[in-house]
Structure 1
């Protein structure tokens, strides 16, 4: 089987990128990260890519007059890599609908909540303030609806009494580093797909909440 070509987009430290790099180097992911693209200069994620021998590319969004102009340039840069899968790993940009539709069914994001709960920002604080007993993270296919694409896999983290926002964030991030490589592994093995009726794994349609691990 030919290894799938993966492009990772990020805006910061790239801890999920590192989890993906580790999984590919260990042979768990039958794919190859061919490029890492950041919209911000000087971030740790680009350094992680260079350290792993991966092309580290910068496309500074501040140099573009509009969101649409940036997304057009980003799409051109990505398509030069001929990717099978695009992975958003802390990419802090809201993408235009045309861009998302171009990669529909082959672009993942990870969100720090049990979607559809707590779309958007400050998810850990919101879960604690709501008195929730559990929290977690979700990998999903990206669609034009923000944090609203079909769910692939979720990991649950219990919220113990007295847990701080920082502690919960750390616990969730540990789980992110497990389920993001897992979802990418499934895709690269041809086991995971997005169809008209939803997400399938090994030909079986997943529930709306995705696979729980």
Structure 2
């Protein structure tokens, strides 16, 4: 059974484009059924519409608080019978109740090798730390920011002379490759969340 996926965006949605492209393959286990943005001017909405994908805008500024916004977002997802949610540059912090409702069914990609360099400016953090390897992580979303159990990671070298821009570009290329891999693993049941741990087809990995 093919999973129905919603992608949440706030801007251009470059990772959204890689997911859309991947799901065009006949044997891919998921289809993008909806793209939702909290901003009406998000460029990714046009990209999704051009690909024939239904879109919706749930403007966060139109709600008195995060809970009311999340309730409206949940209604949109329910109306489209969504199975899995992918965050792709979605710049809103979701309420704990929303995250718990989608526990094990909501994914994010973060541009670092989590648990290293959580939060903002991970490339600057990596350069300041002097590491020689950096990368990106697809993980399950939990209420704590960038703390969900890992599904899959990819590494890139940190090269002499790198700045934030050059390192970010190298990581972004891996993000575009990796996110479809992680989504497919969850859609096929090859990776699932149990408690605070990702379980891979019969064996557990540390969260």
The TM-score with structure 1 as length reference comes to: 0.94
Given that 2:149 and 2:196 are in contact with CA atoms closer than 8 Å, whether structure 1 keeps it comes out as no
State the alpha-carbon separation in 1 of the partners of residues 124 and 196 from structure 2: 34
State the alpha-carbon separation in 1 of the partners of residues 9 and 77 from structure 2: 13
State the alpha-carbon separation in 1 of the partners of residues 43 and 26 from structure 2: 24
Instruction: List alignment gaps of at least 5 residues for structure 2.
Output: none
Indicate whether 1:33 and 2:19 are aligned: no
Structure 1 match to 2:75: 76
State the alpha-carbon separation in 2 of the partners of residues 158 and 27 from structure 1: 33
State the alpha-carbon separation in 1 of the partners of residues 26 and 141 from structure 2: 26
Q: 1:111-190 maps to which residues of 2 (within 5 A)? A: 111-190=110-189
State the alpha-carbon separation in 2 of the partners of residues 81 and 103 from structure 1: 15
Structure 2 match to 1:43: 42
State the alpha-carbon separation in 2 of the partners of residues 203 and 11 from structure 1: 36
Instruction: List alignment gaps of at least 5 residues for structure 1.
Output: 209-213
Structure 1 match to 2:14: 15
Q: Secondary structure at the match of 2:152?
A: strand
Structure 1 runs of 4+ aligned residues shifted over 4 Å read: none
The TM-score with structure 2 as length reference comes to: 0.96
State the alpha-carbon separation in 2 of the partners of residues 197 and 112 from structure 1: 21
Given that 2:110 and 2:137 are in contact with CA atoms closer than 8 Å, whether structure 1 keeps it comes out as yes
